[in-house]
Amino acid sequence: EPEVTQTPSHQVTQMGQEVILRCVPISNHLYFYWYRQILGQKVEFLVSFYNNEISEKSEIFDDQFSVERPDGSNFTLKIRSTKLEDSAMYFCASIRRGGVETQYFGPGTRLLVL
Amino acid sequence: GENVEQHPSTLSVQEGDSAVIKCTYSDSASNYFPWYKQELGKRPQLIIDIRSNVGEKKDQRIAVTLNKTAKHFSLHITETQPEDSAVYFCAARYSGGSNYKLTFGKGTLLTVNP
């Protein structure tokens, strides 16, 4: 069964550094998402992406965050200048179409900002 | 926006007993309600979902009920086994529009004691 994949699985960075988290959604999916989960807390929506543009973003997704789908397969989340509070697990997800279809999650990238 | 409340935050049961987790949602436009199971350090995995035109759905030992009027839905696990131990998240989504983001509850840590 096709799966969403993410790299790296773990990333440690210094505060103020830029990080890029990478995702490969399931190949025939059209809607893409980033969520984050701070340790011990719920999964929170960051941003949704459809038709090569952001369709919605949360309050968390400020100017330090950006997303791209550079080549039709990868979907990236960039954090320009990381803060301590960005430490979390970041999940990529995708849906084939809209409506009531299942949203599939990647295995996550655990980001630690020191 | 949508707000999902989930109770209890922790639940401990004996193997073979039933477990019930309850969620309420705020947005009456939400019409899709998935439940995810997350084992430690792993991705959320869909275990069951329900659409708003259905009141109950069952899959082997797992069932979900939905009360649209009261805006609440519940997960029922019967004959629990130690491998059911995990964090369970409920979520809600509006399946119209063009976003389809999920709003999650805070999660329930289920422990099944052998």
The per-residue pLDDT for range B32-52, each reduced to its tens digit, is 999 999 998 889 999 999 988
pLDDT of residue B98: 67
B44 at A interface, C-beta within 8 A: yes
A42, A48, A98 ranked by CB distance to B95: nearest: A98
The contacts of residue A9 (CB under 8 Å, 6+ apart) are: A107, A108, A109, A110
What is the least distance, in Å, from the CA of B42 to any CA of chain A? Answer: 6
| A42 chain-B contacts, CB cut-off 8 A | 89, 104-107
**pLDDT of B89 over the 70 cut:** yes
A96 at B interface, C-beta within 8 A: no
**pLDDT of B96 over the 70 cut:** no
Average of pLDDT values for A64-88? 94
Q: Are B101 and A33 inside 8 Å of each other by CB? A: yes
The per-residue pLDDT for range A83-107, each reduced to its tens digit, is 999 999 999 999 988 666 889 999 9
The per-residue pLDDT for range B5-38, each reduced to its tens digit, is 999 999 999 999 999 999 999 999 899 999 999 9
* Six token digits for residue B3: 């707000």
Average of pLDDT values for B87-100? 84
Distance CA B10, CA B27 (A): 25
The contacts of residue A1 (CB under 8 Å, 6+ apart) are: none
Q: Are B46 and A102 inside 8 Å of each other by CB? A: yes
